[in-house]
Structure 1
């Protein structure tokens, strides 16, 4: 063993002792395996769509170039297919401009590492994705101008804004305040109370100095008309020039990140922004400049997916997912109402995120449930023995004390599968509580 391996192994031992060690695990999720997968982000089950497969293979047959993209977008990788897809996204999401990235991670890191300047501010929800944190750390913004606020907490956001105001020099300040949020958070499965947060921001920061960046990774394809996302459903898409004739809402969300690795069933991402931001990223975003562009096969797949998202099949899949979300939440509520919270519980029930929205329920169904437990690895192993793939999530992915197993739903799941999972969770709870009851009886 080399000195390097010894040093690294020592660091890994520390992670093992804290029960935070990670390793890659393979699961057979074919129907023959008998395992029910509750860990996948494939919310609309598009990866197993027969019609998508048929359309994709048909387009591959009729398309001359299907492999690679041959280079970065700045060299040979800016093809008519890439540009055409970006134009489609501009129209679909009602955005002034669109820029493809190889992943949501690349897009977030690119934006936050390059667009904010040294005299700007970044305010962010404490549970915003790790890619935002990495981007901000790579930026030139001083640490004291990076301000977190408590997760989905409008009152604490207001306190942070007041603190920022007291620190800012004068009313002539021309710095930009960037605000990083997510529409649907991937660990708790809760929605940002976006209208409330935007109202608060509007009260403290002039519109010309504000840039709200919303990560819609877990809502792309699922919410809003034909899966256009939360921002579109609220009419909050922004960044338009004065002469633009497209649909106009309040326009208080300046930048949106839509990713393709979850409900869309592919890979890659698109950043929806102003033409100026797009040009700036093309000139300064190193993950974009020095990465080979998305391959033609992925561009073709995305075109096929969007055909489905915009037709009846897409509507049916979204409706199926929402029905399942309502069903599992009702079943879980029954179980947790008689379960000690120190054994199993959900995160605190948030405020209604969209109380006055016209195109969204006041509290939409979420396909993500984070079941908090002090023994996530043991619970995950128990559920696997019962035939259910439910993965544990531990620090540093979540804060200490917020260990959990994460349940994800997919369109088309059988309710009997959910019933089986609830039965297994019930058995787990019984095993955890029975020894305590027996001890009390003996006393």
Structure 2
């Protein structure tokens, strides 16, 4: 028999016990304090009973109160008998201090309590690298939820790691429900990467590739598609071919796209059309494209605190719906168009309606790097840009040079029947991705 001391799994509590030598050898981190004398139990009992009560050592300690580790059999061990005549009395064996945690032991214990996707990670999950990955992913998702701003590229990467880890977990454990989590994570990663691409115009797993920093676009790809639909609608439904009329039709359509009605002020109209605002408004009313509750003069005098309600009959709900986007998309497209038309450098150069229509068209047909047109076309067909801007094709070069001077375009070229060029760096966020 041996007198032993051993710690619990966390290393916080020590226990003392008598056990056989084989059990002590099999118990991890067990320390032997003493070995019992190999004598018959009857002999030990007789010897202990023959001692006076005053000479018996108090169980569990000494007179001074110091804790000692002793056997329930108080007889000396063989080693003590051999040394009793030549050595001073041995000092009582002190209980050892709690063992220091091995490097990484605390983290391993914490890992046993890992949680991800409302699932507890088993403490005995093998291989260890899988358990560590699942716990780290759970912590990473919880950390991401505390971010003040979203990072869609990071979130997509986390979903992809989760899909890989859960697939391996399902293979190891044979739990079919884990494969459902794999499918969910893969779909979430794909959706998040699509959102990231729509937002910045570049795949989430792509680098800048030497094209400069990523640009967060004002409109997503889907919203950009709807914006180009509105541009086409304004081109085909303007009641007069003048550039000022088409510009007013575009901006008023964006305000009334959902219900066929909207609000307008005189300040809005003069900001869009300068001195031509009243004349353009009169043309639209006479063509019955626009209906006002009062006169054109009263509309021009309306203030932001009391705007004028207008109606576009062709956009009323009982008519066939030309657009299928929601109110949020409508507001964002309208904001985009007004940012282009009201660009500070375009206003400073006092560019006309035709040039501003050309600015809208170039911004609506760009690639992620700001180049005009699709990559396979390398530009915008000159006749299409001219038709939208109400300009003859041979005048496009003149108006693009005005946009270059206003720092709207970094460069332009109209050779070979294509309008080629690139948006200036300052307006890349207004570019609508094809």
Pair in the same fold by TM > 0.5: no
More helix by share: 2
TM-score where L is the length of structure 2: 0.23
Greater Rg, structure 1 or structure 2?
A: 2
- Higher RCO, 1 vs 2 (CA within 8 Å, ≥6 residues apart): 1
TM-score, with normalisation over the residues of structure 1?
0.23
